[in-house]
Amino acid sequence: MTMAKVLPIVLFAAVAIGQQTKSPGMYVDQNGTLIKLAVAPHPTLQIKSRFVKASGAWIFRGAEAPVQLPMMHPRFVLYGSSDHFVIVELDKKSDHREAQAATSSLLGAHGGFDEKKTIDTTATKRSDDGLDVSPEKDLKSGEYLITTEVAPRQAYDFSIQTETHK
Q: What is the CATH number of the domain that holds 70?
A: 2.60.40
Alpha helices in the chain (DSSP H): 3-18
Assigned domain for 7 exists:
no
In a domain, 53, yes or no: no
38-82 confidence digits (pLDDT tens): 888 878 877 777 777 787 888 998 999 999 999 999 999 998 877
pLDDT at 138 over 90: yes
pLDDT in the model for residue 13:
36
Q: What is the pLDDT of residue 165?
A: 43
Q: Is residue 157 part of a domain?
A: yes
Q: What is the maximum span of the chain, computed from C-alpha positions, in angstroms?
A: 84
pLDDT of residue 155: 86
The whole-model pTM stands at 0.76
For residue 117, what are the domain limits? 22-43+64-95+113-165
User: Which band of pLDDT confidence, cut at 50, 70 and 90, is reported for residue 151?
Assistant: low
For every residue of 133-146, DSSP letters joined together read: EEESSPPPSEEEEE
Please count the structural domains in the chain.
1
* Better pLDDT: 106 or 66: 66
- Tell whether the model's pLDDT for residue 4 goes beyond 70: no
| Residue 17 included in any domain | no
